[in-house]
Amino acid sequence: MYIDEQKKIMINGVQQFVSIRAEVKDAPLLLYLHGGPGDAALPLVMKYNRELEKHFTVVIWEQRGAGKSYYKFDGEITINIFLQDLHTLIKYLLARFHQNALFLAGHSWGSVLGLSFIQAHPELVHTYIGCGQVVNMKKSSKIAYDYALMHADKKDLKRLEKIDCSYSSEKWLDDLLFVTRQVVKHKGSLYGQTNYNDLVKPFLFSKYYTIPDLIRRQKGSLQAIQYLWQELMEINFESQTKYEVPIIFVEGRYDSHVSSALAKSYFDQLETEKQFFWFEKSCHFPQWSESERFNKLMVELLL
């Protein structure tokens, strides 16, 4: 291993955990933005996407409040704060590794940060890879809700029919978590699975993650949703069709968690250098459900 660094660095006044790994010197930087908000993914990327370390300097950032970067939020927390953190981190990485731009991969909530970032700072990114790409949160939430309705049994249907899927009612958090559980239970989130057990195991067996880290991850995830979801519901990229950065979308064919059909119709409108790849045995997590294909694709397309 040429580099294997696991440490916290100060980013805009908050200690945040960053993993930097590469098998070869001077490999191009690839920064991974995890989903959520608050859903840290270090052991998953290390397990399923390790192949990338042979070709890139792979950076996994546990965003403020998430996983190994957990702390109790205090005061205002906005999407813009995460974008400022991302900008600071990228500037640090580019200076440290003497590169002028990097590859940026964003999954789910991370794809909100990714697309927003390349609008503001196209000069810092070679290519953007969106995975489980968020396009329009209101539409996406309605599609997820309809999927839950369509598959629900009688008991769950009663509960679902009372839910406002704009998540603006007083009990929006309970409603959101219930709908998400339904989508997962009916195999609309993790391909072929009715739960997330397969995504939890790598955390339990990772030498980089302790049980307290895992507990912090759960707390961080819930906290981030509470603080950021209402702002996230306003996200809509549909009017933005020109980017100065090449864009690659990798989408699970059966993603009802964050609609891949929406991502495809948005992609078709883009007037930018672009490529789209359907993963036929994936829902919301193509980078892990079909990791070999994903890793191979990244190497072929980016290098």
The series of mean pLDDT values per 10 residues for the chain, 303 residues long, is 96 98 97 98 98 98 98 96 98 98 98 98 98 98 98 96 95 98 98 97 95 96 98 98 98 98 98 98 98 98 93
* Residues 264, 277: Cα–Cα separation, whole Å: 9
Judged on CB neighbours under 10 Å (0-12, 13-18, 19+), 212 is exposed
Contact between 66 and 36 (Cβ < 8 Å): yes
Say what the pTM is: 0.98
Q: 8 pairs with which residues across the strands?
A: 17
| Cα 205 from Cα 209, distance rounded (Å) | 8
Helix (H, G, I), strand (E, B) or coil at 85: helix
CB atoms within 10 A of CB 260: 28
Which CATH architecture best describes the domain 3-135+187-302? 3-Layer(aba) Sandwich (3.40)
Q: Say what the pLDDT of residue 1 is.
A: 87
